[in-house]
Each structure stands twice: as structure tokens, then as C-alpha cells.
Amino acid sequence: MRLEVGDILIKDVQFGPKTEVKDGVLFVNKEELAKVAGDDDRIESVEVFLAKPGEETRIIPVKDVIEPRVKVSGDGGVFPGYISGVDTVGEGRTHVLKGAAVVTTGRIVGFQEGIIDMSGPGAKYTPFSKTLNIVVKVEPIQGLHQHEHEAVVRVAGFRAAAYLGEAGKDVEPDEVKVYETKPILEQAKEFPDLPKVVYVYMLQTQGLLHDTYVYGVDAKKIIPTLIYPTEAMDGAIVSGNCVSACDKNPTYVHQNSPVIHELYERHGKDINFLGCVITNENVYLADKERSSNMTAKLVEFLGADAAIVSEEGFGNPDADLVMNCNKLEKKGIKTVLITDEYAGQDGASQSLADSTPLGNAVVTAGNANEVITLPPMKTVIGYPEVADTIAGGTDGSLKPDGSITAEIQVITGATNELGFSYLTAKGY
């Protein structure tokens, strides 16, 4: 598959009478966007706000972050299974409003949701303090079950992002990048002297609001399978997660996976990037065994010399991570793991819930239990009181002056396990 991604660089976002892009500025018709996002009988109200880098603004609780995009050519459309049909995406041309993001918020769905601060110390931990955010506050009608509440807010965000993306359909991009993965036999022969690498893309699928969707299908219902990397880049994978904000993959991160982008960058230079195996993170032992068996078999079937495995979440999924590592290594496939740590506020506890001697090449995205104090903000979009109940916060995290003391677990993207974050390490 060959995908052209045309980046339209957005320098500012403003409300205006017409939704359009002019001279790098995204103008948004607030009322029209609210109407599109709220096109569901289960939604009581929708409000739209703007949050820009450097402003004293806090968004809480954050449900999802989505990049506005539009298909210009090729099969399918944006967010297949939701906004468009289920045609395979990942080829043709897609235009991106680069620098803009839709952020969904509203009454809390699950306790594992997050915070985005647009300035202050918290802004240093989240990549979404750097984006021009169109915040869509969705309030469902009373009495919805949590799972229905989550679905209503999720799809409202997709409608909003698709609506905004249309503004870039006829705009000439500032930059066009081309990504291509060929059929496997052709791909394997292209660079015969380079090590063949497969990306094992673990998706959070534990249920109870810990869900990810592929072409609209709940990924806990699938067995591991192959996808072209460009399918992920083109919106085939979307988030339905209310898992800990620090290491969840919002839809924006699936659209912009730094692992996939880096593998494409290295392709043909020092590796031969064969493609992706997507696999789920299960609750029960038999399901973990089945999925890790299938994952190792698929990677071996592709003839890979090495694999990169990324996790989403922590705790129970650590077992899936370790099983994937063990089974790949035992097949002679060199394996690198990407995860984060829950090592306690002092950093002295065991970082993962499971381990293996074969896991001897691990990249960490940081310790989510580190404590931070977020100062009060002039503007709060959402409900600040949930700081006491979201994962990483405790009763009393929200102070009378509006400041919040909590673990960095509360910050969206702080320890993202695809590396879509800002934490780094220093050697001494």
C-alpha cells in the first residue's frame, strides 16, 4: 500500500462564520461544529471551546484526542466503521490539519481519564499542550449506561474531527510525505541484506471501558492479525479507552504512531520494515496464551529477524507483553519491548507486574507514579473535581485554590508507550 499524507500546517485556530483554512489559520463555525458533533438523540448538549499553547487553560477530564483528517483519494474514508464504511484504508491521499486537534471532554465516563494543561509544569508532560485544541464538551442525556456513555462521546469526537478535516480537502498541503509497504514477498526481497523487522502493536482490550477498535470492531473479539502500517496511519485504529491517561493511546497517537514513523524512516537504511501485527491485551490466561501464540506465529511466518513490541496500559497487560517477548525470543526473533513503569512514588518498587530474563532489551517511557503539583489555571474546561477520583489522583488532590497534586498518571500522554511524549533519561 502507498499512502500520501499531505500536511496542512495550522498556525492558529479561531472561531468564524465559516469553517475553512485560510493562510494557515483554521476558522471554525462553532454552532455548526456543535450541531455535527451532537447529531445523536442520546446527547443533551455540546459546547465548543478553543485551548491554545501557552494559555492558562486546563482541560479535565480528557476522553480522547483526535487529529482532523480527510481522504482526498483512495478507497475508504476517515474513521472506517464509524464515519465512513468499512473499506480498507491506508492508500491514496489523506490531508491532515497538522497542529490542530479535537479534544473530547464532559461528565466523566470512567475513572481513568486525564488532564491537559496548556501551560505550566503539567504542559511539559503532555504533547497536547503543543496542539491547537478544539475542545468538544459532550453531555449525554441522563441515565445512559457507562458503555453507551463512552460510545456517545467517542463517536461525537470522530464526527467533529471529520467535519473539521473537510476544511482541508481542497487546500494545497505545505508538505506531502509518502509511505509505502509492498506485498510481503516483494517487500522481503527489496532489501535482502538488511534485518527484517516487524512491529507488534499491542492494543488495550481488557473490557470495562478498556477498549480499542479496528475498523469499528472491538479488538478484544479478534485474534492477532496483519495490517499494513499505513492502515493505522489512516484511521483504521481508534481509541475507546478510559484507561490511565499517562499511557493510553488516544486516537491521535494511533494516527501518528512514532514507532511506525521511525520504522519507515529507517526502512531501506538499516532495516527492512515488513509491517505490523496487531494483537490484543486479554484478561484471562487462556486468551493471553492464545493471542501470544498467534502473534509469535505470525511474526515467524513473515520471516522476521527482529520485532518491536509496544504495550498499552500496565498491570494485567504486562503479562501479555512478557508472553509475547518469551515466545518471540524462543523462536530466535530478537525482541525489543516498549513500556512504562509503575515503580512507586519513590521509584523503588518493581516496575512491571511480570518479567522474564529474555526481556533484555527494554525501552521505558518513564515512571507514572511520580508526583507533580499542577498550579491553578484561569480557565478550566470540564469538571475539575474529578481530579480527586481519576487514576493517579486521590481524595484531596484538588486543592481549594484550584491546584492539583497527583501522580503524573493523570496527565494525558505523560508516559505514552509509543514514545509520543516528552520524558527522557540522562546518563551519569
Q: At what angle do helices 285-301 and 316-330 cross, to 10 degrees?
A: 40
Residue 117 CB neighbour total at 10 angstroms: 26
Give the span between the Cα atoms of 240 and 154, in whole angstroms: 7
Q: Give, as one character, the DSSP assignment of residue 388.
A: G
Asked about 325 being catalytic, the answer comes back as no
In one-letter notation, the amino acid at residue 298 is L
Give the span between the Cα atoms of 45 and 420, in whole angstroms: 32
How many residues are given for the chain? 428
Q: What cell numbers appear for 19 in the block? A: 469553517
Q: Is the peptide bond before 61 cis (omega within 30 degrees of 0)?
A: yes
User: What sign results for the dihedral spanned by CA atoms 102, 106, 108, 110?
Assistant: negative
* Three-class secondary structure of residue 251 per DSSP: helix
Q: What cell numbers appear for 314 in the block? A: 500496565
The active-site residue out of 242, 246, 276, 325 is 242
Q: Can you name the residues that pair with 338 across neighbouring β-strands?
A: 310, 363
Active site residues: 242
